[in-house]
Structure 1
Amino acid sequence: MQSVKVADYLNHRPVTFNANMRIEMAVEKLLQSGQSGGPVLDDNHKVIGFLSEQDCIKKMLEATYQNESHSIVSDVMNKNPVCVNPEDSILQIADRMSNDKPKLYPVCDEDGRLIGVITRAHVLLAFDKHLHDTYESGNRFV
């Protein structure tokens, strides 16, 4: 299982945002994608932040009380996103996800450019496939 890499299970076409996007537009993208958040990219496709559902809820709640919204993604995004490497082991990521809060990590190259994202569901899929394959290969010798 140590040989199973993030690159084997990541989503290459995640929902992404830019820093100047209005929060309402970002919320629409999140709702349409089904993702719980996504990386914020600059013009060079580098990850400069992360926007989560929780970030959006806080800002949308505030906008509801004020009956207006003028917020953009850069106002609420996490400016210190944690990226993972495509060569990281699924086991490493699973361990991080079991202890840390993020449900989704941007996967970046060495220059910080986005390759994709890996979610808890992707990690569970990797475990499920590994266990299923192990079970099937064990039954062949019975």
Structure 2
Amino acid sequence: MLQIIQKMLIRDLMNDNPLMLKASVGLHRALGLLLDHHIVAAPVVTEDHQLIGFVSEQDILRELWANDFSFDINHCVGDIMRDSVVTVSPDETVDELAAYMVFDPNKLFENKQTNQNRIPGSFNDDLENAQVCRPKLYPVVQNGIVLGTIDRQTILHTFHRLAQNQRQQTGESI
């Protein structure tokens, strides 16, 4: 299964018709759209789909909390969006993105080089120490244009489906 995943491209799994928000959308409307689409975040784009930011449920919740949970504020997505956005290329592999989502390779491999007392075979400990909290959803961007989005749940559904198919082919019970 690993070989299949290592060859799988983001473009093969991405949502090519994602929710994209304009900077002028109000917070109440933006939250409603995220909830209606059952997603946790969305890229913020211009009319021609140029990526200009990113907004998540967490960003909206933080803004609501800061304003005593009032939707009466005249803030819009452009007021709270993140300007620095982690994006992925459609030609990146799914295994690369999955690795990025769960660990920092610098932390993972620094232990092997800097810790002389490290116990051989303690890879799981090293992996746990290298864990990171990263976004669940990523804009798929090429030349500044949003082509789609990819999220953790889509990747996990794909892995699950591949495992089910493999078990069915080998006759193993699911």
Q: Which runs of 5+ in 1 are unaligned?
A: none
1:61 shift after superposition: 2.1
Aligned counterpart for 1:114 among listed residues 135, 143, 146: 146
Query: What amino acid is aligned across from residue 89 of structure 1 in structure 2?
Result: T
Residue 6 of structure 2 corresponds to residue 15 of structure 1: no
Question: Residues 105 and 65 of structure 1: is their aligned pair in 2 closer, same or farther, counting only changes over 3 Å?
Answer: closer
Structure 1: distance between partners of 2:20 and 2:150 = 13
Residue 91 of structure 2 corresponds to residue 58 of structure 1: no
Aligned counterpart for 1:101 among listed residues 134, 146, 152: 134
Structure 1: distance between partners of 2:11 and 2:147 = 9
Question: Residues 132 and 26 of structure 1: is their aligned pair in 2 closer, same or farther, counting only changes over 3 Å?
Answer: same
Query: What amino acid is aligned across from residue 134 of structure 1 in structure 2?
Result: Q
Structure 1: distance between partners of 2:67 and 2:28 = 10
1:127 shift after superposition: 1.2
How many residue pairs get aligned? The number is 139
Larger Rg: 2
Regions of 4+ moved over 6 Å:
none
Give the TM-score normalised by structure 1.
0.88
Question: Residues 52 and 65 of structure 1: is their aligned pair in 2 closer, same or farther, counting only changes over 3 Å?
Answer: closer
- Kindly report the root-mean-square deviation, in angstroms, between the aligned alpha carbons of the 2 structures: 1.9
1:26 shift after superposition: 0.7
Structure 2: distance between partners of 1:86 and 1:137 = 30
Within-5 A mapping of 1:1-142: 1-64=5-68, 68-99=72-103, 100-109=133-142, 111-139=143-171
Question: Secondary structure of 1:39's partner?
Answer: strand
Structure 2: distance between partners of 1:37 and 1:73 = 12
